[in-house]
Chain A
């Protein structure tokens, strides 16, 4: 029997708020399934399951803020018998037989979610069987079936669920159905303006501060820079993109990610995570992509197996990740699997980035803004597009020699962009 716990989605996360279940008792789950949605300082994150089996019980209440490690659900391994649990219920909570209905006012607006029903009858709550019961589903007859997230939004926006037609299974009202009703007329956003649900920029700043302070306290950083002739890559890219429609064009940033990922695959001591047992090198390169949010803040979700992706696939993965980072949902594995981070200045800005390592990783590589600079070619000094690449690495794990090898490898790869 496995206890599925609140995962750590990065060194800067201490707790998360459970906002939606995607599973119910009796469901079978497998590794990688999205089982819940948790709100963190970085917005809503889809939590993936680490194991395979059958959901025995949901052990946490919706809307509860829980520390990392708190039990969320119990999952039985395949073939494992259900634990000795007195209550033979919890098969399909949503379809539970309608309890004797307390008086109900048909037109009453739904009460805030997850609160005890208004019925005056004493609730037999004191001794729940082992685990907390699943979050209350729609009380039959009183309010229509709706997903928890839909309820929350409906409450926030003052939307009466009874007036909506649900598009979910059995006519259940989903988040999108409530969203379709539109934003409240003049609802002042309680938090800094952002397009990302659940994102709290102030809390994110605090979280970044704590992670970066830890990095500077615990990780003996060293820094190496190399300026690289980017002209071959710039020429190749201009030529390639000239023949393409906008939707299939590639950004220089994709070349940087690809080159850095392939280089990292050849230098094991900068690719991995530093945990309680010391450094564990990673066979694959899960390249964290530092994505800046307008308005401030930064999230660095990972592209899995970045060293194996074609340039077009790298670009597609970056588009997807940037879009979800800014306006949608990231997945828990993207938040926690990174083995090295890549930070890129973009088209304009500073020449170099000497970045702070994101624990538990042991390296971060910064690409400054490409610029035309004088460059010696043979006996002549010519104007060339160049970029300065800076590696920040962890001296507990690697030395300058391996760091230099990594930068040289990036240089070599960027000289033959067609082979990336």
Chain B
């Protein structure tokens, strides 16, 4: 295994906990997050979910199309203690909206769609500058959300506070 894969091997589960936490926050608190610097972003889970297998021998379960978070299969997976491995997210900040599929163990973003190019863009150079800003903004939003999760997750009393609330939500 290369050095660069080590974080995924040893801490990939944390990405899965992060994604499941995003779903929990979205359902219980509405999915609005205030990030450092006062940025407010909205998150929603879209039409694609994959649950991580609890063991290497188990099958991954993927739900797609429609509203997979509302399905009985999704609720059952949560009740069984499954974490999310991948999910397609809608991310909004002000007028801008992104869609992206997060691969939780690596935090790699797939199938990204950036916001529409700004109306002021008159040239390819303008469009490149606008898109570069939107790519960076998406990356920074995901990183900032992950930091929020870590600040919750790394608290010494997490298991008796945040995790307890999330476990109750998963058991519904």
Binding partners A and B: no
Q: Which residues of B contact A (CB under 8 A)?
A: none
